[in-house]
Amino acid sequence: MTESEAVQKVVSGEAWREFCHLMAEAGEAVMAEGNPDDPLDRAEGFRMLTRLMRGALESNLEWNDPLHPKLICVCHETIKIVAENPDNLYLGSSIDGAHDYRIHGTRGEARWISFNTFGGGGFGSGGRGTGTTLHEEQLEVAPDGTFEVVLSQREHAGNWLRLEPDSRSVTIRQTFTDKANQQPADLTLERLDADASPPPPLDPEHLVRALQITGHYVRAVTDIGASWARRQAEFPNVFADAQDEYTAKFADPQITYHQAYFDLAPDEALVVDLQPPECDYWMIALHNHWMETLDYRYHRITLNNGSAAAGPDGSVRCVVAHRDPGVPNWLDTAGHQRGTVGVRWVGHEVEDSQPVATLVPLGELAAEVSPDGA
């Protein structure tokens, strides 16, 4: 697309009409055969489109300038992207592998932290996936809690995150066991060869490309989450590996993920037995059909190694149910008949352990608890 073509698309309004058409196509992905037509599931599917659009416009239109990088968070309580972790604080920025950058600040109180670069298009844009990584056990932190990471194609002493010629974005995961009360890192990203010049005025070509990328991204991510869930739904209430190669290639290499699709009647519960391996962190969380975590602001839909009750041997039994059966580690479906259960083990060289799910009558669990709660 030439500059003159971009100008014409903006002036004529064609760029906006094309964007609206792409969003309408994304809506068809919600309506695709195999997705549930339950009113709650359908409403959440369309709400997801608005969330993905908000996040993508922030990333691709407002903050997509590798010459003026900025760490931003576009995955949080009201923007959720394919089985995101509610214990994480996600930060990311556009970068360009041709330049050098520095991330500096304080370490904070996160249980685990990682840095990932991505080449070419990011998640949902057909990119090649996770590029280079820097993890918790590799990070050098000063006694006062400060540190810096240099991002460059050239090797640097200390914390170095290698860039590749096609590196186009960086993501930082901070993982907490008590996110509400633990202090996050205070981080700044800067381009080392930057000058004091401000960004230029909005370029029509940038607007057109941002709208196009956003429209295609919303459709792609909707397809990714829904198709993964549909494959998983073929094996209801059991842990089965239905992730495809595309989603797997964007994972952090120190995160091992397991998932089961739940479909529970009002009088049923799904018992999930875990034997967490030695790791920095583990968690379990509930998601809706679209692979968005359920609303953890108001419902207990997640537990981790800091909040779950464990047995003497370290094993953990969690119960997914529509109402509290009065047993430890209840996870609230928050009014959802169906959705997914995700389990993560996180850390360096973790020995995998397969969760086990068992469908049981809810009354059997309630009967295990005596009237005095013993």
Q: pLDDT tens across 42-91, in order?
A: 999 999 999 999 999 999 999 999 999 999 999 999 999 999 999 999 99
Task: Give the tens place of pLDDT for each residue, 104-128.
Answer: 999 999 999 999 999 976 665 666 7
- Given the DSSP bridges, would you call strands 146-152 and 130-135 parallel, antiparallel or unpaired? unpaired
Contact call for residues 277 and 79 (beta carbons, < 8 A) = no
What's the whole-number mean pLDDT along residues 229-248?
A: 80
- Is the per-residue pLDDT at 372 higher than 60? no
pLDDT per position as a tens digit, 180-235: 999 999 999 999 999 889 999 999 999 999 999 999 999 999 988 888 888 888 98
Check pLDDT > 50 for residue 371.
no
pLDDT at 323 over 90: yes
> In this predicted structure, what is the pLDDT of residue 2?
83
Of 32-36, 54-58, 153-157, 303-307, least confident by mean pLDDT is 32-36
Please report which confidence band the pLDDT of residue 369 belongs to, taking 50, 70 and 90 as the band edges: very low
Task: Return the pLDDT at 240.
Answer: 82
Could you give the CA distance from residue 255 to residue 277 in angstroms, rounded to a whole number? 12
Q: Is the pLDDT of residue 242 over 90?
A: no
| Least confident segment among 26-35, 48-57, 281-290 | 26-35
User: Residue 228: what pLDDT?
Assistant: 85
Q: How confident is the model at residue 95 (pLDDT cuts 50, 70, 90)?
A: very high
User: Which domains, from first to last, does the chain contain?
Assistant: 3-191 (no CATH), 236-367 (2.60.120.600)
Distance of CA 207 to the CA centre of its chain: 26
Residue 135 pLDDT > 70: yes
Provide the pLDDT for residue 31. 93
What average pLDDT is seen over the chain?
A: 93
Residue 57 or residue 368, greater confidence: 57
pLDDT given at position 368 = 60
- The tokens describing 75, both together, are 């995955």
Taking residues 34-43, what's their average pLDDT? 94
